[in-house]
Chains A and B, each alone.
Chain A
Amino acid sequence: MSTPASTAKRSGSAAVAAGPTAAERLTSLMPVLALAVLVVALAAADPDFLRRSSLMAVVDAAAPLAVLAAGATLVVLCGGIDLSIAALASLSSVLLALWLPGLDALAWPAVVAVAAVAGALQGAAHVFLRIPSFIVTLGGMSVFSSIALVVSGAATVPVVDDTSIRWGFSRVLGTVPSAAVVAVVVVAVLALIVKVTPLDSSIKATGYSEAAARLAGIPVDLVKIGAFCVSGACAGLAAVLLVARTFSGGPTLADSLLLPAVAAIVIGGTAITGGHGGVWRTVVGALVVTLLRVGLSIVGVSAAYESILYGAIIVVAVALTLDRSKVLVVK
């Protein structure tokens, strides 16, 4: 065996590779590849799947999940996690159903605002009390669930007049589900704001290395509270989409979306340890999760098995994307 590149080391930094390696590129394309494979597989299993109506149905079903998960993605990028999103969306759905008769067109902005405040409060608790976000939002999840039960009287709240939120469940140009348009617009706005402002490096630096970010003068606390605030607002907006399609708000309406949302984030390739990832990736993740669910029913697997799938997906996706150099001791 000869010794290749034996002089490379001497020249020091000049020898380092410039960009990501082929393997890294492949890993980063993995979510899109997974999506493509799923589409092909489903089309093979059921040729009807490629019809426009069924494709649109999938996109429509994925929209609330994508909105919910996109907000939480920002929290994950900052190195935290928001486990309260589903419970907060349930609570928001109840509030929306209760407020629609009185506030009418102002009801949904009010709900989104309340959810944003709820998120910001959790962020503030996490930052100022120095409690892990995991614990804060686990507590938040429990609190929001309970409030939802109390204010709804533990029952579904029907919506009689849904005129002011009908935009959340209709068709654009006759075919495209409006919920999907809402999801794309929300994600695009979030992505654009992050991309064109210094927020991009602030969020990433916070997620990769909070200590370094703080010592570079980045307002780490504000960035994190902001991320939780957006996460809350997205939960509120997801609730609006859900109420628009079910004509009701329910204290557990969105609860089952927590695992799929976390799955969407990690399948998209956002690192659970923070720093690496993005909101568009989560949209891909949400589509993959939705397709898997659709696929199970096409193949004829009972819906009772779904949670097994989500649980396994989360573990596998994190196993594939985890930056182990950053996690010294796994707890």
Chain B
Amino acid sequence: MPAEQPQEAAAPVEVQAEGEGEGKPKPKAKKEEDAPPRKNGLIETEYAKRGAHLDVQINPDQVVSAAEFLDGEGMTLEMVTGVDWIKENQFEVIYDYSYTGGQLLRVVVRARVDRNKPDIATVCHIFGGANWHERETWELLGINFVGHPQLEHFLLPEDADFFPLRKDFKP
């Protein structure tokens, strides 16, 4: 549904403008997955292929301002996903935003944190629904959401001292 380009294009450019200084918008690279370190910035993805209209990579300290901006635009946080990129020694946190008020728009916001010190700010004071998603991500991957009100065990037993979704997890 890439019909509403003007409306959606307006949103993320601003994210970038307010979010960061150095990363320039580069919609040029659509198939650059082989080039490993993706630069921060915005990619307009093909919806039919990826399932998202916009793909934004930002610094971990910008997730809150991104969430605030998208909240102002009336978007919903659908889920929070953590990915363990063990080769690059990084965790990736993916925020899926979608717009439920009308014409569909899906925005993916991703941030990478260091695997040895996986701290990222919480957005659950902006989106209450992030609470459970972040808690789950912390529990399964060990990504520490700074400022989260209740990082306690949730799905796993209370005494679990492992992070099962980490790639170096041995059962």
- Bound together: no
Residues of chain B at the chain A interface (Cβ within 8 Å): none
A interface list, Cβ under 8 A from B: none
